[in-house]
Chains A and B, each alone.
Chain A
Amino acid sequence: MVTCEPPKKSLPYCSDTASLHGGCRAFLVFPGLKMLSAQNFGESGKMKEYHYTGPVEHRFSPYAFNGGTVLAVAGEDFAIVASDTRLSEGYSIHSRDSPKCYKLTDTTVIGCSGFHGDCLTLTKIIDARLKMYKHSNTKTMTSGAIAAMLSTILYGRRFFPYYVYNIIGGLDEQGKGAVYSFDPVGSYQRDTYKAGGSASAMLQPLLDNQIGFKNMEGVEHVPLSKEKAVQLVKDVFISAAERDVYTGDALRICIITKEGIQEQNIPLRKD
């Protein structure tokens, strides 16, 4: 018995986003068209068979991956949110000065990496909601409240998500450091430290070892001081820039204490 796949219902869309305003042109490659090029010749010099499966459909993707890594660490009375400043797409770098940390309130900073368009829209929406809250309640939103609100904002797009990996860092009502990490549809929880973005899988184990003292036996669990935490973040990003193509150029660190938010810029590898 032979079964075949049902044909795709949707219409072919433009794969080239730049020409959208002119109207959709459908790209269909018809079988029978042979392109003569060096790749079509095999080692012996004879023409290779070029197989087509039929008409090829190109679809418009509403998302792009712009790279970048974000990291947040919570201490006893401080929080650090750091991000690299490279904005890339595919093999190109769009900008070397596009930090991914956004200041929300005097005690909260959010780091967003993923699709830059969605990061911008999401931070605009959060700013608007913060203003609305301030006008209705005559007080600033706390870090925990911002995190809970962001979870519902993200879930409101459960079926057409924001392609953003968020990490919020700030001080809670008691003045202790707090870090909240999210997935693209709003699942979140409070952490002590978290890495997100393209190099997250490389950085998180290093943080687990240095801050969480995991995989180490017989070591005294020393709480992290602010100076040590900043130095650790710098070292960790230098390592990330060595091994991840989407991370590099410069590092923006935001240190949140009860005195306010202090920013530092450190150069990283530009290659």
Chain B
Amino acid sequence: TTIQEFAVPVGEEPSGFLKSCNTEGGARFELHHGTTTLAFKFKHGVIVAVDSRASAGNYISTGEYNKVIEINPYLLGTMSGSAADCKYWERLLAKECRLYRLRNNHRISVAAASKLLCNMMLGYRGMGLSVGSMICGWDKEGPGVYYVDDNGTRLSGRMFSTGSGNSYAYGVLDSGYKEDMTVEEAYELGRRGIAHATHRDSYSGGVVNLYHIKEDGWIKVCKDDVSELIHHYKKGMF
């Protein structure tokens, strides 16, 4: 296998180089950024909900960016932070998961997949990558949600939210979460979490992409415009 090489600026520390370019008034590197994503486990599987705004500095470069990468029919990865970093490393993770399946004749576990991504991040620690991702899936151990970030943090848990709007999403999730929710209640909780976060965070917005991971794989539940959801929730308040 060929190893990807990365060009680095000569005599400069990579993470400081891009920052120094941005202050000089010449080349301003505005990279796609910002998000709210959330994922939680409950009795009937895992719910994954993400927003769809990609911002470059103060400009919204697109309102319909897909922040969930479908690694295989049982594994999903979410993206927050720098769009290019997440897209690239999670595509690489998808390739590794596929190779694992071909070499070992059984599907990779969620724990192993998240560990692969975590080790990729550790290899480039301190170089200015920005990745906040949740690897979610259903394997032999049952439903799994792992949070992985660019420092090499890897945490298994029941509920996570990442991105610039994560605190708003946590508020909604914590107040509405019950282990034995019905499937419809869980969908609504995920939708609400993202909708309220996009309402208050300027770097999140667009549509809510909602996925449900069950024992036989994931399904895409819906794609709802956030402004319509907010109007629906606040009906009667105006």
Seen from chain A, the residues whose Cβ lies within 8 Å of a Cβ on chain B are 10, 59, 61-65, 114-115, 151-152, 154-161, 163, 181, 183-189, 191, 200-201
Contact = CB atoms under 8 A, between A and B. Distances in A.
Contacts of A62: 9
Interface stretch (B18-26, B34-42, B138-146, B172-180): B18-26
Interface string B73-110: 00000000011110110000000000000000000000
B188 to A, nearest CB: 26
B17 A159 contact: yes
Nearest to A200: B59
B88 A186 contact: yes
**Best-buried of A65, A115, A187, A191 by chain B (most CB within 10 Å):** A187
Q: Is the contact region of chain B dominated by helix, strand, or loop, or is it mixed?
A: loop
Given A152-B88, A159-B17, A159-B128, A184 B29 contact: yes
Contacts of B4: 152, 156
A163 B27 contact: yes
A200 B57 CA distance: 14
B26 A63 contact: yes
21 contacts: A61-B21, A61-B24, A63-B21, A64-B27, A151-B88, A156-B5, A156-B7, A157-B6, A157-B7, A158-B6, A158-B85, A160-B14, A160-B17, A161-B29, A183-B30, A183-B84, A184-B29, A187-B54, A187-B82, A187-B84, A188-B87
Given A61-B24, A65-B26, A185-B82, 9 more contacts: A10-B11, A62-B9, A63-B21, A156-B6, A157-B7, A183-B84, A184-B31, A187-B54, A201-B59
Q: Is the contact region of chain A dominated by helix, strand, or loop, or is it mixed?
A: loop
Range of interface residues on B (Cβ < 8 Å): 35 or more
A167 to B, nearest CB: 11
A186 B87 contact: yes
A163 B113 CA distance: 33
A189 B62 contact: yes
A82 B191 CA distance: 39
Contacts, number: 88
A63 B17 contact: no
Interface of B: 4-9, 11-12, 14, 17-18, 20-21, 24, 26-27, 29-32, 54, 56, 59, 61-62, 64-66, 82-85, 87-88, 127-129
A224 B56 CA distance: 28
A158 B7 CA distance: 7
Give the 9 A-B CB pairs with smallest separation, nearest first: A63-B27, A187-B83, A187-B84, A159-B14, A185-B84, A160-B9, A186-B84, A187-B32, A155-B88
A173 B24 CA distance: 43
B27 A65 contact: yes
A61 B65 CA distance: 32
Contacts of A184: 29, 31
Contact of B66 (A160, A186, A189): A189
Given A151-B87, A155-B84, A187-B83, A181 B29 contact: no
B65 A189 contact: yes
Contacts of B14: 159-160
